[in-house]
Structure 1
Amino acid sequence: MSLSLCVIVKNEEKSLPKCLSSVKNIVNEIVVVDTGSTDKTREIARQFGGKVYDFQWCDDFSIARNEALKYVTGKWVLVLDADETLKPEIVPQLKAAIATDKYILINLIRQELGSVQSPYSLVSRLFRNHANIKFSRPYHALVDDSITEIIKKESYWKIGYLSNVAIIHSGYQKAVIDHQNKHGKAITAMRKFYQDHPDDIYVCSKLGALYVEMGEISQGLMLLAKGLNLILESGDQGENINYDILYELHYHLGIAYGRLGNSIQAIHHYDAAVNLPVYGFLKLGSYNNLGNLLKVQGDLLGAKMAYELAIGIDANFITGYYNLGMVCKAMGLWVEAINAYDQAISLNPDYAQAYQNLGVVLLKIGDVQNSLIAFENAIALHEQYNPQEAERLKQGLKEMGFCY
């Protein structure tokens, strides 16, 4: 089954090689639409066999993505951004899925590196080369609207999902966001769209979440609450509700109320989010944030359960293990705390705080030798990244009678 890659780019000479390397032996065609690069982006794309087309940027990602679709010749289309890579482990699943006759769209799980609040998202980036499939929305462009219309007329099509993480996205790391002015581009594109479509639930969700992320809580809260009301009003019968967007609205309302210090409302929205019938990976952030709030409120058992549910969704969720260790430590569950910290460290050997808290728990149970080893690891790591904390820890150990 022939597969085409579509990428839109501008000045991506640093990230594009990694992106294209991840798919060069999988796709049959690489289509690159360049929106005004002044570096070596075009040359790099051609080195990978890419067909490069120029396009004048117009503050609308959907128009640029649709331009790329014009040049596709494969039977299936995979869409990536330059700061994304395809995980090699997903390739057998991907090939098996596109070899079937029933799917028109296959949703992919994307891991958001550097995103503290939303470690995973679901993206509609793998679909058939169908004449009526097109992207809509100027930012966070997606094909879902056109897919819905196609299925109304061609009801034999199904939407599928790959069960494991397919895409790694590095674009949420702060340095990347600041360098590429991603927030500024997003605000510009979505504000224009919102002015013309004030009752669009999707843009209320995305723009509201972006305002919250940027610290403009009141504006974000207003848009998110509006989106929630709109989606509930439009889906009174249940069957018309888009649960993925409903989840996002509750989730980001939880974040907004949490930042305002309104724990009751935040917990309410996180509870609503985790009880929706959406893909499990999407719930990870809600469970983790819910656990944090419950821990602060003193509901340690509830927090412990939330962290355990998060780890149950993603066995590699480092923050979840660390948070579980912290709440178990607070509950006096020493063995469980040690196991949680050990797991966090095995996944991230440079986790200074995990070593430090492991040292505390080991000291509490009288395992002085291993406690000091954990503290020494914590100090060595802190000296690299946080020298003040390293000195504070050394001083604390000296005060307890240990030589440093």
Structure 2
Amino acid sequence: MSRPNGLSVCMIVKDESANIADALSSFTPFADEIIVVDTGSSDDTKEIAARFTNRIYDFKWIDDFSAARNFAMSKAKKSYQLWFDADDRISPENQGYIVSLKSHFDGRKAFYFVLENHQTDAPVSCCKQLRCIPIRRNVRFEGCIHEQIFPSAVKAGLEFAATDIVVTHLGYVTEQTRLAKAWRNLAVMEKERADGRDDGALHFFLAVTYAPLGKSREAVRSMEAALERFEKEKSNHNLIPEGYLFLAKESLKLEEYDRCLSCLALVRSLVGASPLHNFQMGIIYQRLGIHREAIEVFREVSGKKYVPNLFPTQALPSYSELLLHMAYSLFCINDRQNALKLINSSAPQQSEVGRSWEWLGTKAFLFENIPVAHVALETAMRYGQLEPESWGRLGAIYKLRGFSEKAQECLLRAGATE
């Protein structure tokens, strides 16, 4: 029996009384029905949800996000589902885009949205997520953690279309919260592996969970296992470049430079002129001290538009910042003349040149390149007032180099005391 055309918003929630009203308010303008599945709230989440929908169901939590999402989807009556969490929001502009998208529901297409992650202690990051999918019996979420619907959508023969519709995600707002959820996720995924699951996606997500927990060797082993399986599997081939870039970063942490370089070479062969990948590779080349390669890949970024991929990333730097990244590498290979040209080009007005030097000094300091940081911050100081953090960095450099009086003066300007 065919389903009536329309959009079912499907959510799984638990103890979300602080979030769910704002979430549902932002979903109501485009939802033809709203399904809320509660996995064991002890607050008034369900009572608040009842103001917006009478389609509220209980589901006993079994440490399996896919099971809960598939249960929610089983309650949907429309032709398409759009899945959300309680800390997702849709702006009025994007609400209108979703209303327009409904005219493209043909039962064959599945739609990627852009997930925009907001955190209190880090810049905004973005990625693509398959959010809006036709409801079919053979299209289901898989995996207890980092649940995916893409593999079954591929097997079902769906077509995939990218949209510019933005889902604003407010979760994982502090480092402490992120780490707590990473440990939770790790325990569930390790149990899945112990129970016999052995696909590429599991090993991929194990790797990206191990890394922030300081388990780089485990992360490398898991990512190598993921890439081996991705090569054999019919799905997730688009994660292969991300996997090798991840391996390059973790190998750098482990000071395994040959493997890092091998992975970078593989990424370059796979992604070509992709600005997002090239920028990340440029930073790694700089960390390795291979500055001519860094400059070469940074040039692939210039003038290119940021397009999110499947892995959360921050937006590309501005053109001015990109010039300063290149200037840093030019300083490192003693090409001061061209470095100065880029620094001057990075500042639209002469009055802003000091800020460019300060930016360069900060980068050099964070990269532990004290000679370049010293020159850049002293030059910035001559152009005018530094930010407090920069005074502190310059003071630390003076102290390291034995200029105690200058160090004390800078630290006082930074508002610090010894």
* TM-score normalised per structure 1: 0.75
What secondary structure does 1:27 align onto?
A: coil
The one of 345, 366, 372 aligned to 2:384: 372
Q: Within the alignment, does 1:16 sit opposite 2:29 as a pair?
A: no
Q: Within the alignment, does 1:295 sit opposite 2:307 as a pair?
A: no
1:159 aligned partner: 160
Aligned counterparts of 1:83 and 1:167: Cα–Cα separation in 2: 10
Aligned counterparts of 1:48 and 1:253: Cα–Cα separation in 2: 45
Aligned counterparts of 1:279 and 1:93: Cα–Cα separation in 2: 30
Offset at 1:25? Answer: 1.7
1:3 aligned partner: 7
Unaligned ranges ≥5, structure 1: 152-156
Instruction: Give, as a single letter, the amino acid of the residue that structure 2 aligns with 1:246.
Output: I
2:113 aligned partner: 108
Unaligned ranges ≥5, structure 2: 308-314, 331-335, 364-372, 399-405
What secondary structure does 1:211 align onto?
A: helix
Aligned counterparts of 1:279 and 1:70: Cα–Cα separation in 2: 42
CA contact (8 A) 2:13 2:39 kept: yes
**What's the CA shift string for 1:369-390, capped at 9, x where partnerless?**
xx315x2xx22xx4xxx99559
CA contact (8 A) 2:35 2:53 kept: no
Offset at 1:28? Answer: 2.3
Q: Within the alignment, does 1:84 sit opposite 2:88 as a pair?
A: yes
**What's the CA shift string for 1:186-238, capped at 9, x where partnerless?**
11221222223443111011112211221112222212112222233x26xxx
CA contact (8 A) 1:31 1:68 kept: yes
- What is the correspondence of 1:261-272 to structure 2 with a 5 Å cutoff? 261-272=255-266
The structure number with the bigger radius of gyration is 2
Flag the 1:329–1:276 CA change in 2: closer, same or farther, 3 A.
Answer: closer
2:174 aligned partner: 174
Deviates more, 1:260-269 or 1:133-142: 260-269
Q: Within the alignment, does 1:200 sit opposite 2:204 as a pair?
A: no
**What's the CA shift string for 1:305-356, capped at 9, x where partnerless?**
444545724295358964652442452434544665789xx9xxxx9x7497
Flag the 1:248–1:356 CA change in 2: closer, same or farther, 3 A.
Answer: closer
CA contact (8 A) 2:294 2:329 kept: no
CA contact (8 A) 2:30 2:98 kept: no
Aligned counterparts of 1:146 and 1:215: Cα–Cα separation in 2: 33
- What is the correspondence of 1:111-122 to structure 2 with a 5 Å cutoff? 111-114=116-119, 119-122=125-128
- What is the correspondence of 1:165-244 to structure 2 with a 5 Å cutoff? 166-175=166-175, 177-178=177-178, 181-232=180-231, 234=232, 240=234, 242-244=236-238
2:366 aligned partner: none
1:141 aligned partner: 147
Offset at 1:252? Answer: 2.3
Flag the 1:362–1:199 CA change in 2: closer, same or farther, 3 A.
Answer: closer
2:306 aligned partner: 314
Aligned counterparts of 1:310 and 1:44: Cα–Cα separation in 2: 47
Superposed CA RMSD in Å reads 4.2
Flag the 1:342–1:52 CA change in 2: closer, same or farther, 3 A.
Answer: farther
Instruction: Give, as a single letter, the amino acid of the residue that structure 1 aligns with 2:13.
Output: V
Instruction: Give, as a single letter, the amino acid of the residue that structure 1 aligns with 2:256.
Output: N
What secondary structure does 1:106 align onto?
A: strand
Instruction: Give, as a single letter, the amino acid of the residue that structure 2 aligns with 1:287.
Output: N
CA contact (8 A) 2:113 2:131 kept: yes
Aligned counterparts of 2:127 and 2:273: Cα–Cα separation in 1: 9
Q: Within the alignment, does 1:43 sit opposite 2:47 as a pair?
A: yes
Aligned counterparts of 1:266 and 1:206: Cα–Cα separation in 2: 20
Flag the 1:330–1:307 CA change in 2: closer, same or farther, 3 A.
Answer: closer
Aligned counterparts of 2:221 and 2:343: Cα–Cα separation in 1: 40
Flag the 1:98–1:292 CA change in 2: closer, same or farther, 3 A.
Answer: same
Deviates more, 1:206-215 or 1:389-398: 389-398
CA contact (8 A) 1:338 1:362 kept: no
What secondary structure does 1:32 align onto?
A: strand
- What is the correspondence of 1:268-287 to structure 2 with a 5 Å cutoff? 268-273=262-267, 275-276=269-270, 284=276, 286-287=277-278
* TM-score normalised per structure 2: 0.73
Flag the 1:139–1:51 CA change in 2: closer, same or farther, 3 A.
Answer: same
1:30 aligned partner: 34
Aligned counterparts of 1:116 and 1:341: Cα–Cα separation in 2: 25
- What is the correspondence of 1:391-402 to structure 2 with a 5 Å cutoff? none
CA contact (8 A) 1:322 1:341 kept: no
Flag the 1:77–1:259 CA change in 2: closer, same or farther, 3 A.
Answer: same
CA contact (8 A) 1:135 1:143 kept: yes
CA contact (8 A) 2:286 2:329 kept: no
Aligned counterparts of 2:395 and 2:342: Cα–Cα separation in 1: 29
Aligned counterparts of 2:56 and 2:236: Cα–Cα separation in 1: 36
Deviates more, 1:242-251 or 1:33-42: 242-251
CA contact (8 A) 2:117 2:168 kept: yes
What secondary structure does 2:160 align onto?
A: strand
- What is the correspondence of 1:88-99 to structure 2 with a 5 Å cutoff? 88-91=92-95, 93-99=97-103
